[in-house]
Amino acid sequence: MVDILHRVGIKSSTTEVYDALTTAEGLAKWWATDTQGEGGDLGGVLRFRFEAGGFDMKVLELQPGARVLWEVVDGPAEWVGTQVRWELSQADDYTVVLFKHAGWKEPVEFMHHCSTKWALFLMSLKSLVETGEGAPDPRDVKIDNWN
Amino acid sequence: MVDILHRVGIKSSTTEVYDALTTAEGLAKWWATDTQGEGGDLGGVLRFRFEAGGFDMKVLELQPGARVLWEVVDGPAEWVGTQVRWELSQADDYTVVLFKHAGWKEPVEFMHHCSTKWALFLMSLKSLVETGEGAPDPRDVKIDNWN
């Protein structure tokens, strides 16, 4: 098993970041404009649709201002069964976000791509919370010949 | 052992990307403005200095247009002994860069930070080669309360 790890710091309260991770409205503004479902309900399913496909995530854990855990229940074969974990904490004027997309079976080329895309989407989340403007799909930053 | 993985695609020849990875002049334009040493000599040492510290990398492998491998011989304790590998290939109009920073002992918080920073520096490399303008330290994109 191999994991994608990232860390960003967002000049905001943990509450604002938590809201952007647990509401379809928030998620639509930094990740996938076409986001539906209930991110704030344990056991609920979030449906993210991108130009190139989509992911369904089941909400496994919610600790307001501190922690969110999703499991991928539908999407690309490499993603199904993996988990996406968000841990929030306050440091100085920042909400520090520790991100982990865990449980990839193999470090395939698609995982390299997703690691870089996650970094750019985390910067989109940071930008949304700090400035009100994110860069969600389909206005996301393109990184390679895949997207 | 855990690894940082990334993938970017750069609209250019593999030769241009290889040059940006193997000359101090190229490296200074997308990673650390203060770069010294010989990136094109097997066994040579590259010295990268940042606002917050620095890294010395020994050049272990060089395959023009295809592969570069460095080993960290001085720098933060978590980095020493790790390896940074670049694999280049042509796909459509792109040079695809597969990046691996391998051999971290533990997935510490600093590794999360470095993973995100590497993604932004890879985007700086892409920008440099495609537009002539990168974002090297100290003009690099800041991601959190550490840098």
Burial class (CB in 10 A: 0-12, 13-18, 19+), A8: buried
Beta bridge partners of B47: B36, B56
Instruction: Tell me if chain B has a CB within 8 Å of the CB of A115.
Output: yes
Distance (Å, whole) CA A125 – CA B131: 26
Q: How many CB pairs under 8 A join A and B?
A: 96
**Neighboring chain B residues of A106 at a CB cutoff of 8 Å:** none
pLDDT at A51: 84
> What mean pLDDT, rounded, does chain A reach?
97
Q: Helix, strand, or coil here: B57?
A: strand
> What is the mean predicted confidence (pLDDT) over B106-128?
98
pLDDT band for position A27 (cuts 50, 70, 90): very high
Tell me how many degrees the CA angle B65-B70-B74 measures, rounded to the nearest 5: 155
pLDDT band at A52 (very low <50, low <70, confident <90, very high): confident
A85–B contact, CB cutoff 8 A: no
Which pLDDT does position B1 carry in this prediction?
74
Distance from CA of A140 to the nearest CA of B (A): 14
List phi, psi (to 5°) of B94. Answer: -110, 150
Averaged pLDDT score across all residues of chain B: 97
The secondary structure of residue A142, as a DSSP letter, is P
Q: What is the pTM of this model?
A: 0.97
Instruction: Tell me whether residues A143 and B91 touch, CB distance under 8 A.
Output: no
The whole-number pLDDT of residue A102 equals 97
Tokens standing for residue B63: 């395959």
Bridge partners, residue B63, by sequence: B67
pLDDT at A44 over 90: yes
Spatial distance between the Cα atoms of A66 and A85, rounded to a whole number of angstroms: 11
Q: Which strands form B2-11's sheet, in the order they lie side by side? A: B2-11, B94-104, B83-91, B67-74, B53-63, B45-50, B34-37
- Cβ separation of B7 and A109 shorter than 8 Å? yes
* C-alpha span between A121 and A107 (Å, rounded): 20
What tokens were used for A120?
């750019």
Residue B96 sits at the chain A interface (C-beta within 8 Å): yes
3-state secondary structure of A15: helix
| Cross-chain residue pair A112–B5, CB shorter than 8 Å | yes
pLDDT at B32: 97
Q: B116, B129, B146: which to substitute to probe chain A, counting the most A Cβ within 10 Å?
A: B116
Residue A1 predicted with pLDDT over 90? no
**Residues A97-146 pLDDT 10s:** 999 999 999 999 999 999 999 999 999 999 999 999 999 999 999 999 99
Closest C-alpha among B145, B141, B143, B134 to residue B33: B134
- Domain B2-131 is found in CATH 3.30.530.20: yes
Query: pLDDT (tens digit, 9 = 90+) per residue, B10-63?
Result: 999 999 999 999 999 999 999 999 999 989 899 999 999 998 789 999 999 999
Residues 6+ apart with CB under 8 A from A58: A43, A44, A45, A70, A71, A73
Calculate mean pLDDT across residues B118-136: 98
- CB-nearest to B111 from A5, A96, A109 is A5
Answer yes or no: are the C-beta atoms of B15 and B97 closer than 8 Å.
no
Say which amino acid occupies A25.
E
Arithmetic mean of pLDDT, A59-81: 97
Q: What is the pLDDT of residue B91?
A: 96
Query: Cβ of A2 and B6 within 8 Å?
Result: no
Q: Where are the domains of chain B?
A: 2-131
C-alpha angle B40-B42-B44 in degrees, rounded to nearest 5: 75
